[in-house]
Amino acid sequence: MDEVARILVRGERPGRACLDIERDAYGVPVDPAERMQQVMLGLFDLIDEAGQADFPEDLIGELDLVRRRFMGMFEDGYPGYGEGRAIWR
């Protein structure tokens, strides 16, 4: 598999091996906890992008409230799972 395919299909990033994460044919994590963690990472990144794009702070705050609710569900369902910005409060 060439480098571009590894990045697109397996979610690998240069300098970061993701081969230990089982993924389906579309590159989506098979493990439900890992899949939820990926959603949490996406929400955090969306909030960051919204801030950089100068969206109103009140709307960004609403997104953060939703992220925190998702995080609560994630932590209740998978205690101790997750790392980095996926679980930052």
Q: What percent of the chain has pLDDT over 70?
A: 79
Q: Are residues 12 and 26 in the same domain?
A: yes
Q: Are residues 49 and 19 in the same domain?
A: no
Residue 17 banded pLDDT, cuts 50, 70, 90: very low
**Which is higher by pLDDT, 26 or 16?**
26
The alpha-carbon radius of gyration of the chain (Å, integer) is: 15
* Mean pLDDT, the chain, whole residue set: 82
Q: How many domains does the chain have?
A: 2
Neighbouring residues of 7: CB distance < 8 A, sequence distance ≥ 6: 13, 14
Give the whole-angstrom CA distance, residue 52 versus residue 64. Answer: 15
Model pTM score = 0.67
Q: Are residues 82 and 59 in the same domain?
A: yes
DSSP label at residue 23? B
Residue 19 banded pLDDT, cuts 50, 70, 90: low
- Domain extent, residue 8, equals 1-30
